[in-house]
Amino acid sequence: MALPQPKLDTLEARLASLDLPNEPGCLAPARADALSRLHAAGLPVRRDEYWKYTKPDTLTAAEVTPAALLGEVEEPIFDGIDRVRLVFVDGVFDADASDDPALAGVTIERLSDVATRDIHWARDLYGVLEARGQSPVARPLAALNTAFARDGIVIHATGKAVRPVSLEYLHRSETSDALLHHLIKVDGGADLTVLEDGPAAARFTKVMEVDVAPGGAFHHVRAQGRDHERRAATHIFARLGEAATFKTFTLTMNGVLTRNDVVVELTGDDGVAHVAGACVGDGDFHHDDTVFVTHDAVGCESRQVFKKVLRNGAVGVFQGKILVKQGAQKTDGYQISQSLLLDDDSQFLAKPELEIYADDVACSHGSTSGAIDEEGLFYLRSRGVPEGEATDLMTLAFLAEAIQEIEDQRLADGILARLQGWMARRRQAA
C-alpha cells in the first residue's frame, strides 16, 4: 500500500540525509530488509496510534535540532563500580578513551568490525528482534536504525560476567545525530549486566537487541544524560527463552524529548521480565515510555514499573501493554505507571493496555496521577524538615518502587545519588 503523501515526504527527506553503509559485509541483507520495512511503514507522524501523545517531528526530521552541551563535567554515575568502560563520542566508538574490552566469559566487538567479518550469531540476530518487534505496532525509527547504524557494540556472554559492561555516551557536538545499534546475546547459564550512561548526541536513535537463551540472565541499568536540549528515540528488543531473566531500569532526567520503546517477548516457559523506569522532568521536558510485553509461554512473570515526577510544564507519557497469547497460561503480569505532578502545569498521559487470550492468568495494571501529599509534607515540616527537603524526601519515596527494581544495590545507590543531585541543584536554584 502506498504511503500517504506526508509520510512519504518525511521519509524521503530523512533518507536523503543518510548514507546507507556501503559495506560488502554480512549485515547487508539485514540492512536491505530493514530499509524495505521502513519504506512500507514510513516514519512516524502524530496521527499514528502510538504517537498521539508525542510529537515525532524532531526525531524524524532530516536536520538535527541543535542541542547545547551541558558544559559541566558530571561524575560518571557508575564510578566506583569496577566495569568495562566503552566510550562513544557523539555516537562514534572511541577506542582510546575505552577500556580494553577483555572480560572473562564475554566477547565484545564493535559492530563495524562484525560487518566485515562473518560472525554467524551476529549476522543471524542483527535486525531480527527489531523486525519481530514491528508487529503489531510499527517502530519505523528502529528499522531506520537497523538499516543505517554503522556503530555499536556486539556482546556475546557465554558465562557469568564478573564485571558489568558500561556504555558511556559523551555529547560533544551541538549538532550530532547519532545512530547506535547494539547486539547482545546471552547464552544459557550466562549472566551479563550492561550499563549505559550519558546523553550520547544532540539526537540519538538507538536500538539494542537482546537475545537471552534458556536459563540466561541479563540486567540493564541506564541513565540518560542530563543535557537539557538533547533528543532521543531508543528501542530495546528482547527475546527470552525458557527460565531466562531480563531486567531493565532507566533513569531519565532532563532532555527536551525522550521516547523509550521496550519490546519484550517471553517465548519460553518460566521466563521473568522486569521493565522499570524513573524520570524527573522540570520545564521543557517530554518523556515517553512505550512498553510492549508479550507472553507466549507458560508460567512467565512480567513487571512494568514506571514513575514520573513532573514540574513546570513537564510532560510524561506511558503507553504500556501486556499481551497474553493463547496458551500462555499461569502468566503473572503486573503493570504500574504513576506520576507525581508537582504543579498544575505538568501533565501525565497514560495508556495502559491488557490484551489476554488465555484463561488462567493473573494480570493487573494501574495508573495514577497525583500531587504531593500535603498531610505528609506538613508532618515532615512539623518535625523541622524544611519544605524543599521534605518535598524531595517525598519525591524520592514516590520513585522508590521503581528504583527497587534494580537488583544490584550499588547500581541503585548510583541512581539515587544522581537523583539527589538533581533535586539539590533545583533546591539551590529556587
Partner 1 sequence: MLEIKNLHVKLEEEDKAILNGVNLTVEAGAVHAIMGPNGSGKSTLSYVLSGRDGYAVTDGSATLEGEDILDMEPEERAAAGLFLAFQYPVEIPGVGNMTFLRTALNAQRKARGEDEISAGDFLKLVREKAKALKIDADMLKRPVNVGFSGGEKKRNEILQMAMLEPKMCILDETDSGLDVDAMKLVADGVNALRDEGRAFLVITHYQRLLDHIKPDVVHILSEGRIIKSGGPDLALEVENNGYEGLKAEVA
Give contact residues for partner 1 (rule: CB under 8 A).
373-376, 378-387, 389-390, 393-394, 396-398, 400-401
> What is the nearest approach in angstroms of partner 1 to the Cβ of residue 301?
23
Nearer to partner 1, 357 or 378 (CB): 378
Nearer to partner 1, 231 or 308 (CB): 308
* φ and ψ at residue 214, rounded to 5 degrees: -50, 130
Q: CA quadruple 400, 279, 419, 304: dihedral positive or negative?
A: positive
Residue with cell 499461569: 330
Calpha distance 391→427 (Å, rounded): 10
> What is the nearest approach in angstroms of partner 1 to the Cβ of residue 400?
4
- DSSP element (H, E) containing 347: strand 347-356
> What is the nearest approach in angstroms of partner 1 to the Cβ of residue 390?
8
Q: Nearest-CA neighbor of 155 among 204, 211, 199, 116?
A: 211
> What is the nearest approach in angstroms of partner 1 to the Cβ of residue 256?
29
Nearer to partner 1, 13 or 380 (CB): 380
Q: Which three cell numbers stand for residue 229?
A: 536540549
> What is the nearest approach in angstroms of partner 1 to the Cβ of residue 385?
5
Nearer to partner 1, 357 or 379 (CB): 379
Nearer to partner 1, 204 or 249 (CB): 249
> What is the nearest approach in angstroms of partner 1 to the Cβ of residue 419?
13
Q: What angle do CA 69, 71, 73 make, to 5 degrees?
A: 120
Sheet harboring 191-198: ordered strands across?
92-94, 84-89, 165-170, 191-198, 217-224, 245-253, 272-282, 301-311, 332-341, 362-370
Calpha distance 417→430 (Å, rounded): 20
Nearer to partner 1, 81 or 385 (CB): 385
